[in-house]
Chain A
């Protein structure tokens, strides 16, 4: 082994040589930071920049200097000292106002002024969404110096402070709370318009951290959540006199068991058509807007008293906003192929959900029940939001696979008894012919509702015979047209 030992020495020498050569670390040199900006955090750099020292001081006061010293990446839009000097006093009235103010200037992750999209919607730490346009305008402030960087993010210096705005719901609850319409909307926190609202509110109350606030108010649930910062809305707030007259106009059509509820529902049917998705600037307002429920609302820009820009949209305070009953009262359409039930459940094999074409080539979907051998077999439907008025009834019922005419009739309301019969209907219309190959809509008759609301039993009834072909039922749709009193 002596032989090996001698050579070991030569190897050792080689390794020593290698070790000497590698004393300097090229990798270390390669990755070392040479940019001094990257040695300080956002907070240090903002405070050290002369232009933004005031904002830096406020950061320290609110404790956000600690946040900006952290390891997450942020973007700060820091207002200049001049801009800070012009802020109205109440924007920084107390500690929480100051905190919100600071939060409205900071966003998570880096937003450079160099981007491919022209408008970036940025979620600030205040949970408000501001638009950063072309990297040069933030909300309504111009960027003076862009893309200053530090170890944990970017800051842009802007010429105007981003004072946090209220959203529509906050505005209605505070500045505009004197309006009758606002107080009605606030009342809907407690009052349930529909059965489903109470369930929603109970769920929201049970686990507030899990469910959004859209469940907490009946207007939010049924129309739009005006407290939602992520969407933009246009809302028309009517002055008291105009509002009252609209409500009174609707009251005869929304008669309920007592006068208070009549007023409540008339109020709801008035305001539900006044909120619209997307913020529409005054110059872009069209003559008519269509509400979520399909009501055409005429807009007279001359009647705008005040225009309030808010964080999630625009509120127009209106001197008047007159929606004629002809467009306000909606026709109810019930699709034949969407029944709520049947008089007996064992006829699925005779129930055809069809997809066909009329002679004009128009596709239609309908239901047909054939060969069921049950006298007076019925299909059940229901309808919501009916008015207390007379309705004209139309149907489109297509009899295309039989050559004979058969009859069917409609019954509105009533209660299903244990033996399957229905008692106390509001109205039962006459048997009406369904001739073969007729694709027109046909007038069937009319019925009158004394009370507005839901009609949970509308029955399409077959003839009182068990003979096949004569007791067929078919329905494309039912149309209920309200008559103006």
Chain B
């Protein structure tokens, strides 16, 4: 123990330690992290701006699951399975509590905040010329539109939300009513329309943009939001039907100036079925075997089903307007396999009985008493359970219905496609008094509607003869020769091989009912249904439109709460989720 008597050394050692301790903190412990960027390392040039855009879309993809769950489970086409916990049942029965993680709008605001941050910095970059005006316009408009899309979703689900356009330091402050007052949905729509209409650029990224590239085998062209589509949606929600139709019409005519015939006639036109080759996106049978149920075109490369499973080729491009891919090799992970598959998935959501009935109530042109888009395509019975298939075609083997490779969980988030565009456009046109046009797009297409039987010279027929945005030329004549841009349009029910949807009584209401029902048949499980129900209920000022649909779903599955839920949904304030989240989230 003599060691400790040597106090001189102990003191020296202590002094040294003290000196090191005081002198070092600021300097040599302050190492620059190698996997993160500092504030002064971002937003330096256009490539940093691109990184910000791509990063925001990456973050945005994290909302895919929530988007589909909220928009489908709250509506009438999807039910929770026996595996789903109480939070899913709450959404389905409209009794959402504050703890329900799906109720929290926080993750929407996280992405909105990222958008706000990027928009602010794009302004700064433009101010000192780190971006030229084209680069700035494209990126600013893209992120601005994406933000408007997010706010539209918030408005649909929460009714009143704070509209924040500046970056926020602490997201939890957003809950503070005094700091961030909430505005009504209508007012929000006005704000969104003003902002989005004011954006400097409305087209898709130009062909020479640094954001249009092939990355990891995916072309980025359809990754980004279509601004005209969102503008159409905003105006449609707000009840500005002509403006809505005008914006949609711009998208419908995307390929009208294309030099390639197949692009000009096919892109976003909802083309008729190729009955000989079956290389189309239509419900079809092998030719001359239409009476044989086993001759249904049901594979990943042909027919209606293939639009959800095919590689993004030319045909894919004729339908898809906005879709983001999930790849097993990269984050974020594809959430849909867990959500829907009962093979190596959690199997939480299934098609509702009501949805299945809707498809069973249709009659195909060959007399088969169903719509093949239902039990043949959109869902399948696997081990006795109905399984939503739209997201699983590339995951499950079509014959064995087992995963091809459980680690191969690629998939897609389906956000906007031509069928949806046609339905939305038809809804706007119908509201604007263009019933015939809406009915034509819904049923067998423009040529079929505007033709005159037995007339060979089509110079004056097979077209709408209406001003923009209702001008369509679907002429197909050989003497004299005409091929109007719309001559291949086959209508949605024509493409689905279904009998015409009948119109009863008031054609506005009747056609709108048909359009909304067709949206259920065509777009089921893609995350549009709740919005459709809310929008039409608001336009008709008739909560029963929405309440009856939810009642029908719950009633069809024998839910004792059905009547109580209907009563509740008869007042509009009960359509919305509670605007809450926990600090820990």
A interface residue numbers (CB < 8 A to B): 6-7, 9-10, 13, 349-357, 361, 363, 368, 370-371, 400-401
Contact = CB atoms under 8 A, between A and B. Distances in A.
A368 B293 contact: no
A368 B291 contact: yes
Contact of A354 (B4, B288, B292): B292
A353 B9 contact: no
Nearest to B368: A355
A357 B369 contact: yes
B369 to A, nearest CB: 4
A363 B368 CA distance: 9
B181 interface: no
A354 B296 CA distance: 11
A401 B367 contact: yes
A349 B288 CA distance: 8
Contacts of A401: 291, 367
A266 B288 CA distance: 50
Contacts of A13: 3-4
Contacts of B288: 349, 371
Interface of B: 3-4, 9-10, 13, 286, 288-289, 291-295, 363, 367-370
Given A7-B13, A350-B289, 6 more contacts: A13-B4, A349-B289, A352-B291, A353-B292, A368-B291, A371-B288
Contacts of B289: 349-350, 352
B291 A370 contact: yes
A356 B13 contact: no
Contacts of B4: 13
Contacts of B368: 354-356
A363 B369 contact: yes
Contacts of A356: 367-369
A351 B369 CA distance: 19
The CB with the most chain B CB atoms within 10 A, among A9, A10, A351, A352, is that of A352
Contacts of B293: 352-355
The CB with the most chain A CB atoms within 10 A, among B4, B288, B291, B295, is that of B291
A152 B310 CA distance: 57
Given A9-B3, A10-B3, A13-B4, A353 B294 contact: yes
Contacts of A9: 3
B497 to A, nearest CB: 14
B9 A7 contact: yes
Nearest to A9: B3
B242 to A, nearest CB: 43
B21 to A, nearest CB: 17
Given A13-B4, A370-B291, A355 B370 contact: yes
A370 B291 CA distance: 10
Given A349-B289, A354-B291, A370-B291, A10 B369 contact: no
A9 B367 CA distance: 97
Nearest to A358: B369
13 contacts: A10-B3, A10-B13, A13-B3, A13-B4, A352-B289, A352-B291, A352-B293, A353-B292, A354-B291, A355-B368, A356-B369, A357-B363, A363-B369
Nearest to A7: B13
A302 B406 CA distance: 60
Given A352-B291, A353-B293, A354-B292, A6 B369 contact: no
Nearest to A361: B369
A362 to B, nearest CB: 10
A9 B368 CA distance: 94
A250 B294 CA distance: 43
A10 B10 contact: yes
A357 B13 CA distance: 96
Contacts of B3: 9-10, 13
A350 B291 CA distance: 9
B362 to A, nearest CB: 11
A410 B513 CA distance: 50
B15 to A, nearest CB: 13
B365 to A, nearest CB: 12
A351 B13 contact: no
B278 to A, nearest CB: 14
The CB with the most chain B CB atoms within 10 A, among A349, A353, A356, is that of A356
Q: Which 10 A-B pairs have the closest CB atoms?
A: A357-B369, A352-B292, A352-B291, A355-B293, A353-B294, A13-B3, A353-B293, A355-B368, A353-B292, A9-B3
